[in-house]
Each structure stands twice: as C-alpha cells, then as structure tokens.
C-alpha cells in the first residue's frame, strides 16, 4: 500500500469514527443504569448492561407502537405517492416531446430553491380550509403531486436509456403507458429504489411537518412522539431517552444495510444528460 492510499485510508477511518461516535454513545447510554448516564468523566462501557431500559422506554412513551404504526403508514403512502407522481412527471419531461418542456422543467427545478418556512404559513392556511389539520392528510397527499428532486433524479435516468427499445415497442403498437410500464420501469428498478428509500427516510425522520399539522397525540409519528416523550419528563431519563432513540433509528440502519448495494447502483446510473 502506497503512502497516498495509507493517508486516504487513515482520513476515511478518522471520519468514520467521528460520525459513528455519537451513535456509539447513544447505544452505550441506552444500556447504562441512570446513575452512570451523567458521570464525570463519561463512561463508554456500562458497568452492567441494562437491557430492561428498552421495554421500560417503550412503556414510558405510552403510544410507542401507535407512533410506529403512524410512521410506517405515512412512509408507505408517501413512497407510493412519490413513485407514482414523480415517475409520470419525469417520463413526460424525458421521453415526450411537447412545447415548453425544458422551460417548465427548469421552473420545476427552481421550486427546490424555495425553503419550506417561506411557504409554511400559506400551506397551513390551505390545509386548514380543507379541514385536514389534525389528520395525516397534509403529510401524504402532497406527495401525489411529485417532488422536484425526485423528478430530476428519474428524468436523468430516463434520458440515459436507449430510445431504440421504446421506438420498437411503439412500432409494435404500444402506447406511451405500455412503453412506460413494459420497457422503461423494468430497467428503472435501481433508481426507483433510490427514490423510494430517500422518500422513506425523509418521512421517517420528518419532525417539522408532524409538529405543524398534528394535534392529537394518537396521530403522532415516532419523531414527534420522541420529542413529546422528552418534554413530558420532569427530569430527563437519559437511559430511557437513548433507548427510545435507538429504537427509532434502528429501522433506518437496517434499511441502509439491506439496500446499500442497489442504492449505489441506482445513483451511479443516473447520468447527466439533458
């Protein structure tokens, strides 16, 4: 191994340790007795592993499984909405010829520059007039109107596909819906998985949306329920809070390890054609 590779390896190792240290501390604290959570100097390794902290944290949160069900339901709905709407929009921008296509696509990308706090109040007013405040509808129905980032990601992939296959299908009498379903989507599985995972993570970790729109604790998501659990404690029970936090991020870690190979493949295959 050359000196250059050795230095790069050491830098990557240092970065990995830096990013993993907070997670390691969280897991360590989740297994400690309460008395050891605030000791000085800090102890990384508990004197005894308190696995009971996890069921205790679930019981202390009260609605933990309801929060989990709400989060999973939202993730399912938003992933379906994003895949359907963004795929159709991206296909229209990439493979169909119509006047003003590129200008409208540029306008679509420009919406990514608008921060959510800038439009938060008018959107809240719209949902309030529709009677959706206090329900999950504001958190999943908008995903059926496409996301600019996901449209961009899918469009770039669709542009990288050869047009010969679509032309052959069109000659055989297929319409655009059949071409999309039978020729484009089977080839787009990696990038569709990327979009699905990105949307799942965004919904699972979303805190601001549920904080704004949800009013009944029984409709809370895990992210909002975790914050509510912390604020309702007279003095923070750090071992329970860290145990609950570990349970919340566990699905994300499992999802990453299950899909990392396909994620890398999907991102690598999104070309830069325009």
Model pTM score: 0.87
Burial of residue 193 (CB within 10 Å: 0-12, 13-18, 19+) is middle
Closest to 163 in 3D by CA, of 143, 142, 144, 179: 179
Return the percentage of the chain with pLDDT > 90, whole number. Answer: 41
Tell me the average pLDDT of the chain: 87
Residue 225 lies in a domain: yes
CATH at 126: 1.10.3720.10
Task: Write out pLDDT tens, residues 5-33.
Answer: 888 888 988 998 888 888 888 999 888 88
- pLDDT, residue 1, reads 60
Residue 28 lies in a domain: no
Residue 202 lies in a domain: yes
Concatenated DSSP letters for 3-20?
A: HHHHHHHHHHHHHHHHHH
- Identify the domain containing residue 120 by its residue range: 47-268
Cβ-Cβ contacts under 8 Å for 161 (sequence gap 6 or more): 184, 187, 188
Residue 38 lies in a domain: no
Residue 180 lies in a domain: yes
Residue 17 lies in a domain: no
Residue 29 lies in a domain: no
Task: Write out pLDDT tens, residues 166-219.
Answer: 888 888 888 888 888 888 888 888 899 999 999 999 999 999 999 999 998 889
Q: In the chain, how many domains are there?
A: 1
Residue 1 lies in a domain: no
The model's confidence at residue 86, banded by pLDDT at 50, 70 and 90, is very high
Residue with tokens 């830069």: 272
Can you tell me the distance from the alpha carbon of 217 to that of 225, in angstroms, rounded to the nearest whole number? 8
Encoded tokens for 8: 């790069």
């Amino acid at each position: 191994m050359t000196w250059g590779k050795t230095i790069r390896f050491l830098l990557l190792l240092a970065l990995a340790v830096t990013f993993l240290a907070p997670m390691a501390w969280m897991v360590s604290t989740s297994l400690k007795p309460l008395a050891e959570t605030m000791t000085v100097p800090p102890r990384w390794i508990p004197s005894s592993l308190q696995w009971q902290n996890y069921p205790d944290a679930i019981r202390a949160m009260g609605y933990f499984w309801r929060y989990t069900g709400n989060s999973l339901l939202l993730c399912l709905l938003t992933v379906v909405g994003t895949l359907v709407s963004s795929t159709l929009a991206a296909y229209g921008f990439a493979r169909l010829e119509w006047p003003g296509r590129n200008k409208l696509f540029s306008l679509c990308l420009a919406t990514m520059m608008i921060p959510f706090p800038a439009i938060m109040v008018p959107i809240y007013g719209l949902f309030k007039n529709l009677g959706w405040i206090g329900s999950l509808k504001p958190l999943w129905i908008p995903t059926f109107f496409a996301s600019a980032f996901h449209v961009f990601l899918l469009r770039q992939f669709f542009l990288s596909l050869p047009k010969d296959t679509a032309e052959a299908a069109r000659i055989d009498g297929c319409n655009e819906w059949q071409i999309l379903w039978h020729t484009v989507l089977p080839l787009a599985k990696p990038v569709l998985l990327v979009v699905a995972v990105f949307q799942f993570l965004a919904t699972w970790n979303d805190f601001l949306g549920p904080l704004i729109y949800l009013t009944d604790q029984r409709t809370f998501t895990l992210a909002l329920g975790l914050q509510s659990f912390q604020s309702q404690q007279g003095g923070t029970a750090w071992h329970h809070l860290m145990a609950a936090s570990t349970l919340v991020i566990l699905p994300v870690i499992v999802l990453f390890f299950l899909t990392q190979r396909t994620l890398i493949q999907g991102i690598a295959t999104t070309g830069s054609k325009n």
